Amino acid sequence: MPASRLAVDLSGTTLRVLEGTPGGVMRCGEGAPPPGSMDHGRVVDPTLLGQALRQLVARTEISGNRALIAASDAIASFRVLNFSTGTADEDIEAELKRQLPQQSDRMSLRRTDVLPGRGLRTIYAVIWDRGQVQAMAETARHAGLEPAVVELKSLCVARAIAAPSCILLDMTGEPCEAVLIDEHVPRVSHVFTIGSGGDLPTELAAGLRPVLTFYRQSTGAEFPAESPILVRADQMLPTLTATRLEGMIGHPVGPLPQPPRVRPEVRFVPFLTCIGLVMRRRQ
């Protein structure tokens, strides 16, 4: 049995922690961050937030202290780019800097190879707000934890979902978020708001179209019509709403299924991001 891992989700409007392993027991806890400690996925007061996290860790009876941290996509930008296998590293770096320009010395660029064995070199690259990464690490330390890694929410949820290609429609918070996933790798994340009293299927379709447009423009192909829209929500979409959305967007619509190797008692909808963190191959 692999060693238990501790995931800390700082990507949304609710603090969440999960300790466990895929296929094993997972201990979960959640709570509201203190007012003024976070703002739209950004850490404002690491000390205050860390104190709340320390209390949540104690209340959840977490035993580990090495924290894998999920961050909001709002603090970074990412790209997935394909290169021929013989492309020189300096040419890859030049293209990454063109696609993800560092606008200040507060930004840092990281890259990793993904999808090996395809006859191409595929790079997943992220440009981070270094100050926010440091603030999240500081938050963990104030909670008595050792920050091990910070990863974007979009990468975490892509790892947790069994479907290789889909669009995750996240309606668990405000604003809503659409993450297009292809070959288990996030390709684009987009946030949008929906009004009260409006036509929900129309507003959801409008929020989903930008990720489909991005995919078409970046790949020159349409996103496969059989790839589903998986709805992450506290309550299931009404059947009529899902049917209308499916007709507008041209993709099947259904609820987020339970991730593989997660026991039935785990509330996987709110803890999806944490589950994706503990599924990391490397700690």
Domain boundaries, the chain: 1-162+257-283, 163-255
Question: Which DSSP string do the residues of 205-261 spell out, in sequence order?
Answer: HHHHHHHHHHHHHHHSSPPPTTSPEEEE-SSPPPHHHHHHHHHHHSS-EEEPPPPTT
What is the pLDDT of the chain when averaged over all its residues?
95
Q: Which CATH number fits domain 163-255: 3.30.420.40, 3.20.20.70, 3.90.1150.50, 3.30.70.1060?
A: 3.30.420.40
Band of residue 83 on the pLDDT scale cut at 50, 70, 90: very high
**Contact (CB, 8 A) for 83 and 92:** yes
Show the CA angle centred on residue 278, arms to residues 274 and 280, nearest 5°: 120
1-162+257-283 and 163-255: identical CATH topology: yes
> Counting beta carbons within 10 angstroms of the beta carbon of residue 112, is it exposed (0 to 12), middle (13 to 18) or buried (19 or more)?
exposed
Position 278 scores a pLDDT of: 97
| Residue 257, both tokens | 């299924």
Band of residue 198 on the pLDDT scale cut at 50, 70, 90: confident
Position 283 scores a pLDDT of: 55
Nearest to 43 by CA among 167, 143, 120: 143
Band of residue 3 on the pLDDT scale cut at 50, 70, 90: confident
Q: Greater confidence, 15 or 85?
A: 15
Nearest to 15 by CA among 157, 176, 173, 248: 173
Position 119 scores a pLDDT of: 84
CA of 109: how far to CAs of 76, 78, 79, 89, 237, in Å? 10, 9, 11, 14, 38
Position 1 scores a pLDDT of: 58
25-34, 103-112, 273-282, range with greatest mean pLDDT? 25-34
| Residue 64, both tokens | 């580990």
Q: Greater confidence, 2 or 20?
A: 20
Band of residue 282 on the pLDDT scale cut at 50, 70, 90: low
Average pLDDT over residues 148-174: 97
Residue with tokens 């992220």: 126
Q: Which helix (H) or strand (E) holds 190?
A: strand 185-192
Q: How far apart are CA 82 and CA 90, in angstroms?
A: 15
Band of residue 195 on the pLDDT scale cut at 50, 70, 90: confident
Collapsed DSSP state (helix, strand, coil) of residue 91 = helix
Q: Which fold has domain 1-162+257-283?
A: Nucleotidyltransferase; domain 5 (3.30.420)
Q: At what angle do helices 46-59 and 130-142 cross, to 10 degrees?
A: 50
Q: Which amino acid is at 156?
A: C
